[in-house]
Structure 1
Amino acid sequence: MAVLSKIRQRSLLLILVIGFCLLAFIVGDIINSGGFGVTRNIGSVNGKDIPVQEFLQKVNEVQARQQGISPSQAANAVWGQEVENILFEERYDKAGLRVGRDHIFNVYAQDPQVAQNPQFLNALGKFDKAKFNEFLVNMKTTNPAQWQMIEKNKGLVEDAAKKQLYVTMLKAAFFATDADGKAKYQMDADKAAFDYVFVPYSTINDDQVKVSDEEITAYMKKNEKKYKSEASRDLEFVLIENKPSTADEAEMKNEINSLLSAKVEFNEATKTNDTVPGFANVTNVEEYVNKHSDVKYDTTYVTKKDLPLEYAEQIYNLGKGQVFGPYIQDGYYKLTKMMNKKGNASAKASHILIAYKGGKAPNPAITRTKEEAKAKADDLLKQVNANPSAFAELARTNTDDPGSAQTGGEYDNIAPGQMVKPFNDFVFNNPIGTTGVVETEFGYHVIKVTGKNEAVQLATIAQKIEPSEGTTDEVFTKASKMEMDAETKPFADLAKGLGLTVTPANKIMMNDENIQGIGSQRGIVKWAYGKDTKIGDVKKFDIPQGHAIVRLKSINEKGLLPMEEAKITVLPIVRNQKKAELIRKKMEGTTLEAVAQKTGSTVASATDVSLANPTVPNVGSEPKVVGRAFGLAAGKTSGLIDGQMGVFMVRGKGVTKAPALPNYTAYTTRLSGEAKQQVQGRLSQALKEKADIQDNRAEFN
């Protein structure tokens, strides 16, 4: 009883403790499951989630494979692939599609790194599945790490095989009939002639026809599929560049000029003043360059064509130890010193390869013997010596080297050691103009040495032209002040007062990264889509060029086209509809002559017009008008037709039917081919339009 009494006394405390534990359990579960605004999935497609961790791992793999690709670019690429994979996987499941070993090998056979690897080719130079299979079997024991990588990517290869098979099956269902081919032929070849009266929309000034935003919206709603749009943002910005002032450049020029003369510097080690010679006279050039240059000393020899075009002559003609400069190149002030020159640094030569059966990496189609190859090479050499100008044509028609066939056998800028030794020795040990036959492991080469290049070794001090600290501070202050002033003053007025240009950046999508005029600026996009960012807000962003002051102009939610964009594409259509109503009232009469007299127009003629190219002479493309003309009997007059460029009335003069063909195979084949080529793209687009896709990329990117 005493125990029960104590429990009753402590009941409130006990309830609180139990309640707290339950709350902790629930909160922990919510956090682990991605609650409180934390999303576990990058998105979903038709209810199938795309987990964040798996997605981010694939993004990292893409970045590792493609050097230089940004995180946003990689994420967008992986997202597109994931969405398509899920959508197509649904189709495979519904079709009960499975793939076997041969299907997977077909995928590998289409990878150039596999299909063109000599160790997997048969005697005819074709991909051999048996050889590739043997390679895979041996790899399991000889290279386990590579085997694991192949096993890891097995699912991707199977998906690729399924897609290939599925698309192939769909393509097989697309075909054109003889009736389709005949109809296409008739559209191309049947010709109509007609007279017409045309009153252009331009006869009514735009300011005479008022079109409201509501009318534009109503038109888009009637054609919703055509004018739908994803969420976007419209921005405008000014760029305040952080670039050197005239004073900064002058100071840098003086500083680099000072390196040409000897000067006294305090030596910390000896605690004495030492006289340091100018650049032309220093003994340890590498140490001097590395001390004063933003680009490290380079001992590479370069040819004249590799020098800066603007200064190539001056630099190339320097004597040993002489210095050229200062000069400006690629945003650097530079001083260049001639260190050394050497001849035979690179060469130019033309060759014709005559391969033979059994030579290294031969074309499987080559059956000539070594003796026959030698005889052919000797004969070609005689032709070259008899007519040197014929070398290029002889190479194009005889060489077995596909790498130089299109250049007439020519190889330019050959570096020592680049070619196999016999070839290399002939080119570098003989003067220009020498011809001969050289044997290598690839066959016999008919060679002509056509050029030699001298190279120079240079020491260059390069100092990047950058703004001083004072200039940088001044630019920062200017940008910050504009950001603050924009809270109370018109953005355009502020920009004009500072002599800056306001640049628009419209239709920025949620997962975009690049902003034209600024470059890759994911931070600006995220700010524009931030829940606290309102229309009219202004923010300064530090970018490589300096500072961008950005203003959010408008927020366009998912749905119809933004009004600003609609006014470019939809407004002219609605306006012309209203103009057509006014023009129709003027076009009174039942004949072309009566209408022409009433409107001050003329009766014009059109001949040899086809449905495939429905162009009215001196007007432009008018499919509706030409279609009506094809349906009119000779002498019959149409009613008024609202065309692309104005209102028409047409009188038929007859249709000349093209003569029947024995068959329409050429047209049928072309139509079938075009339809098959479009299958995968059209299917992918249709699946995406129909799918329920939830995209959370912006939360992680």
Structure 2
Amino acid sequence: MAILSKIRERSLFLILVIGLALFAFVLDPSTLTDFFSASKVNEVGEVNGESISRQEFAEALENYKAQTGNQLSEMQAAKNVWNNLLRQKIYETQLAEAGITVGETDIMNALYEAPSVQNDPRFQTSGIFDKDKLKEHLATIKADNNTEWSAWQNYMASLKSNLQKTAYDNLVAAGLGASLKEGEAQYFTENTKVSGNFVYVPFTSVADSLVQVKKSEIESYINNHANEYQVEASRDVKYVKFDITATPEDEEAIKTEVAKLLEDREEYSNVTKGNITVKGLKSVTDYKTFLDENKSDLPLNESLQFKVQVPQTIAEDIFNAKEGDVFGPYKDNGYFKISKVTNITRVPDSVKAKHILIPFVGSRSASAETTLTEDQAKAQADSLLAVVKANKSKFAELAKELSADKSNAEKGGDLGWFTYNTMVPEFRDFAFESDKNEMGVVKTAFGFHIIHVEDQKNYQNAVKLATFARKIEASEATENKIFQDAETFAQGLSNGGDIDALAKESNVSVLPAVGLKVLDENVPGLGNERQLISWAFGSDVEIGDFKRFDVNGGYVVATVTDKTAKGLMPVDKAISKVRPIIANQKKAEIIKGKLTGSTLEEIASATKQTVRTASDVNLQSPTITGVGFEPKVVGAMLNAKENELFNKVVGDRGVFAFVVTKKELPTKLPNYDSYRKRIANQRKNQTFMMYEAIKKAAKVEDNVGSFYGL
């Protein structure tokens, strides 16, 4: 339906496109291919002038999905594939410029060294990896050109990509050493302490009203710092959600219907052509059939339940009840329920047991070595039970030798202590409802278990409940009303109404979604709503356009409030970030004008501040007591002469005047090699920064959105 809607919406556009193409074909048939094969149409991007075609991207995307088992969403996969292709192209360019090639020999050597390949029995001779067997296998599947060959090609492509990255990183890292002089400088920079006196005038001392920041100044700042204010294409949206929720009247109607199921009732039967008695929960005994026939929204829970596990609204009543008592209707976790106590007992909350597991062909614990049929496995389990009942000391030995549960076999089958809901139902029921020291054979989906219940503790009351549940949902009438509300709201927008004003009139909330990117999936407040984002990026969608969407649990009416193109951040978007920076620069100039005097005392008097003291500050932790984090000022103090006034020093929080009274140098070391090594290792370990730097310098054109028609 969604595709048909799109076709209808764009039918005129499609007719024009097809018409032009056919007209061109009549004049010259070769132009039809050209029309649909323009280079840009077939590209999803470029890296340093090298195009990434739609076909290359599509193949990489399919391979990536196969490798990850389709565990990621379409857009997450697309982002990862684009980043992988981008990285591959960038590294190829860098290595080519350096005259380095990752060839077939390099890839094959990496393949030979891969543990998964070396440990594959297909490529071993007498348990030792055999290169010739691997080569023979690759040659065979290459000749067949089957899906396995495609998988090997993908694996070798990933090996090549990793080798390229490693080669480049190693190449750059080789030039990222450090000298002993750098190590010495680092040691003294980190460990030199300074003390002194200062006057601090915070930016907050100047009222915001005294500083005017013009739009032109913000624009100028952005242009002068263009690298810091590059943005992707984005859309801003406002939306109103109309949730389909049950009204109090809907809830009351559901509660009434559920209540009718408690008592026996007379109903007309089309089969008998007369009235029959339909049993209610109070008198019925076949609870599963009762729940099925009345279409309960939750299945029958046949497990014992402790007090903390039953609905807490009726827990006290249930545990003071007797078998056969009924409760409800009561509201619990979005359902109206009625419950009947079908069993009351005392059981332990924890059991200590051990087991021997005998699998059979088709059981969940079966392996390639499993040959026993179900009957044979049952006979073996019965035989083992007889042995261990006659001699309990043999249990551990037999578990180690025969149990398919290898995680516990080495411990003699010991499972330790476990709680009621830990095991599968059949195993659990035997362990918790049997007596201490009892043994028996139990069949589960895993096979036949010989179980020995060794100990039990913390006996307490437990019940079994037969519970009918009906989910609390909006009625059809309510759904229709919500749909009509959404349609009316959309109609108001089509008549030129403002979304905020209309929302106020309708008593609904407007929510913003700012900075949506072309490959995003999640809309804040809505979750995964890819359809809304795709619409917002449509080439024919302008600011002020709106649309109603069917979403999970209701409807959304959304309108585009802003469109940002890829490139330099628009001034209006930058105001919140740039205005404080420029404002502080202007406040700094105002404060500087007040910092007059030849001593700290005179400056303090002129600015109505006090002279403060800074003790033992250093660049390792550049925090000044009473001020906060001030690396610029601490750095200035470290490089200042002692007992000399330094004035009008601009920091992160205000403007300073200071006098350094003492510099305490650390003890000289006989050797600074440890610091030199630390600097070198830090540089070499920051390969991610190297990649980010060369990516920033690369000419990248990202049009992945076009792959999805945007």
User: Residues 633 and 654 of structure 1 are in contact (CA less than 8 Å); yes or no, is this contact kept in structure 2?
Assistant: no
1:181 corresponds, among 175, 180, 183, to 183
1:96 corresponds, among 101, 105, 110, to 101
2:32 corresponds, among 25, 28, 35, to 28
SS in 1 for 2:491: helix
> Cα–Cα, structure 1 residues 62 and 267, in superposed 2: closer, same or farther, change >3 Å?
farther
* Structure 2 Cα separation of the partners of residues 339 and 586 of structure 1: 86
Listed as ranges, the matches of 1:287-306 within 5 Å are 287-293=289-295, 295=297, 297=299, 301=303, 304=306
* Structure 2 Cα separation of the partners of residues 672 and 309 of structure 1: 62
Deviations 1:27-62 (A, max 9, x none): 431355268xx9333333333333334534544555
User: Residues 345 and 416 of structure 1 are in contact (CA less than 8 Å); yes or no, is this contact kept in structure 2?
Assistant: no
> 2:84 matched to which residue of 1?
81
Worse-matched range after superposition: 487-496 or 64-73: 64-73
> 1:527 matched to which residue of 2?
535
Q: Give 5+ residue unaligned stretches, structure 2.
A: 1-22, 355-406, 440-452
Query: Are residues 1:607 and 2:615 paired?
Result: yes
> 2:72 matched to which residue of 1?
69
* Structure 2 Cα separation of the partners of residues 285 and 594 of structure 1: 91
**Deviation at 1:21?**
6.5
> 1:617 matched to which residue of 2?
625
2:223 corresponds, among 221, 224, 247, to 221
Query: Are residues 1:478 and 2:482 paired?
Result: no
* Structure 2 Cα separation of the partners of residues 350 and 645 of structure 1: 66
* Structure 2 Cα separation of the partners of residues 449 and 176 of structure 1: 65
* Structure 1 Cα separation of the partners of residues 465 and 134 of structure 2: 51
> 1:259 matched to which residue of 2?
261
* Structure 1 Cα separation of the partners of residues 408 and 173 of structure 2: 38
Query: Are residues 1:151 and 2:158 paired?
Result: no
Q: Give 5+ residue unaligned stretches, structure 1.
A: 1-18, 123-127, 352-399, 435-446
SS in 1 for 2:614: strand
User: Residues 107 and 156 of structure 2 are in contact (CA less than 8 Å); yes or no, is this contact kept in structure 1?
Assistant: no
User: Residues 102 and 164 of structure 2 are in contact (CA less than 8 Å); yes or no, is this contact kept in structure 1?
Assistant: no
> 1:516 matched to which residue of 2?
524
**Deviation at 1:656?**
0.8
2:91 counterpart letter in structure 1 = F
1:26 counterpart letter in structure 2 = S
1:335 corresponds, among 338, 349, 363, to 338
* Structure 1 Cα separation of the partners of residues 55 and 349 of structure 2: 52
Give the TM-score taking structure 1 as reference length. Answer: 0.75
> 2:703 matched to which residue of 1?
696
**Deviation at 1:576?**
0.9
* Structure 2 Cα separation of the partners of residues 312 and 62 of structure 1: 51
Query: Are residues 1:467 and 2:502 paired?
Result: no
Deviations 1:473-513 (A, max 9, x none): 21122222222223423322221222222222211112211
* Structure 1 Cα separation of the partners of residues 540 and 347 of structure 2: 67
> 2:238 matched to which residue of 1?
236
The number of residues matched between the two structures is 605
**Deviation at 1:699?**
2.9
User: Residues 25 and 32 of structure 2 are in contact (CA less than 8 Å); yes or no, is this contact kept in structure 1?
Assistant: no
1:246 counterpart letter in structure 2 = P
Give the TM-score taking structure 2 as reference length. Answer: 0.74
Deviations 1:142-182 (A, max 9, x none): 99989546524332342254146423554454334333333
1:70 counterpart letter in structure 2 = S
SS in 2 for 1:281: coil
> Cα–Cα, structure 1 residues 417 and 587, in superposed 2: closer, same or farther, change >3 Å?
closer
Worse-matched range after superposition: 424-433 or 90-99: 424-433
* Structure 2 Cα separation of the partners of residues 142 and 657 of structure 1: 71
1:689 counterpart letter in structure 2 = K
**Deviation at 1:243?**
0.9
* Structure 2 Cα separation of the partners of residues 151 and 664 of structure 1: 49
> 1:555 matched to which residue of 2?
563
User: Residues 347 and 415 of structure 1 are in contact (CA less than 8 Å); yes or no, is this contact kept in structure 2?
Assistant: no
> 1:378 matched to which residue of 2?
none
Worse-matched range after superposition: 323-332 or 533-542: 323-332
**Deviation at 1:196?**
1.2
Worse-matched range after superposition: 634-643 or 523-532: 523-532
* Structure 1 Cα separation of the partners of residues 548 and 138 of structure 2: 57
Kindly, what percent of the aligned residue pairs are identical? 28
> Cα–Cα, structure 1 residues 591 and 21, in superposed 2: closer, same or farther, change >3 Å?
closer
**Deviation at 1:255?**
1.3
* Structure 2 Cα separation of the partners of residues 335 and 138 of structure 1: 68
**Deviation at 1:206?**
0.7
**Deviation at 1:204?**
1.4
1:71 counterpart letter in structure 2 = E
> 2:442 matched to which residue of 1?
none
1:25 counterpart letter in structure 2 = P
**Deviation at 1:577?**
0.9
**Deviation at 1:612?**
2.3
SS in 1 for 2:226: coil
User: Residues 305 and 312 of structure 1 are in contact (CA less than 8 Å); yes or no, is this contact kept in structure 2?
Assistant: no
> Cα–Cα, structure 1 residues 154 and 583, in superposed 2: closer, same or farther, change >3 Å?
closer
**Deviation at 1:136?**
6.0
1:234 counterpart letter in structure 2 = D
* Structure 2 Cα separation of the partners of residues 666 and 410 of structure 1: 52
1:541 counterpart letter in structure 2 = F
2:568 counterpart letter in structure 1 = L
2:331 counterpart letter in structure 1 = I
> Cα–Cα, structure 1 residues 171 and 299, in superposed 2: closer, same or farther, change >3 Å?
farther
* Structure 2 Cα separation of the partners of residues 34 and 464 of structure 1: 55
Listed as ranges, the matches of 1:112-123 within 5 Å are none
Question: RMSD over aligned Cα, in angstroms?
Answer: 4.4
